[in-house]
Structure 1
Amino acid sequence: MTDREHLSTLQSYVWTLELLGEALVQHDEVLECEHNPQLSVRNTAGIHQAIRIISQLASEQFAKLEAMREEGER
């Protein structure tokens, strides 16, 4: 992957994290009037898990970019 491809992937991950964060906020607002708490907990857990996975993928892409940059400096 080129630097540009890594950056594009990172940008996609960050945008997805922003969307998931917004979904979590909206979901929390809906919880106040929801009558099925088990479904709410499952949804919230799914959003949190997706955030963790995407954060890990973004971290891995950043590490690859850093490694490529360090190789280029040698």
Structure 2
Amino acid sequence: MAEKLEASGQALAFPQSRGCVRGKKTGAKKMMEAIKFMFTAALVVSLLTLVVFFCCFGAWLFDKWRKER
């Protein structure tokens, strides 16, 4: 049946006949999305950590500089 539909060009009208379901994500796509999300979350957390570190380091340097004057 599927071969007949593919030969006549009507296979696009019946995506289930070729083994794929439109709109349903496979496990690999879900895993890729999860990896992208985790990578983005790790990047945001590391950038926020750097910002906090440099703010604290800058405040410490400023305080040290002010006490020396």
TM-score (ref. length: structure 2): 0.56
Decide which of 47, 50, 54 is 2:49's aligned counterpart. Answer: 54
Unaligned runs of 5+ in 1: 1-33
Of structures 1 and 2, the larger Rg is shown by: 2
Q: Cα distance, 1:59 vs. partner?
A: 0.3
- Residue-by-residue CA offset, 1:42-70 (whole Å, 9 max, x unaligned): 00100010000010000000000001000
Question: Over aligned residue pairs, what C-alpha RMSD do you find?
Answer: 1.4
Unaligned runs of 5+ in 2: 1-26
Structure of greater relative contact order (alpha carbons < 8 Å, 6+ residues apart): 1
Residue 65, structure 1, aligned to residue 60, structure 2: yes
- Residue-by-residue CA offset, 1:5-37 (whole Å, 9 max, x unaligned): xxxxxxxxxxxxxxxxxxxxxxxxxxxxx9310
State the identity %.
Answer: 7
* Structure 2 CA distance for aligned equivalents of residues 71 and 49 of structure 1: 33
Q: Which has the higher helix share?
A: 1
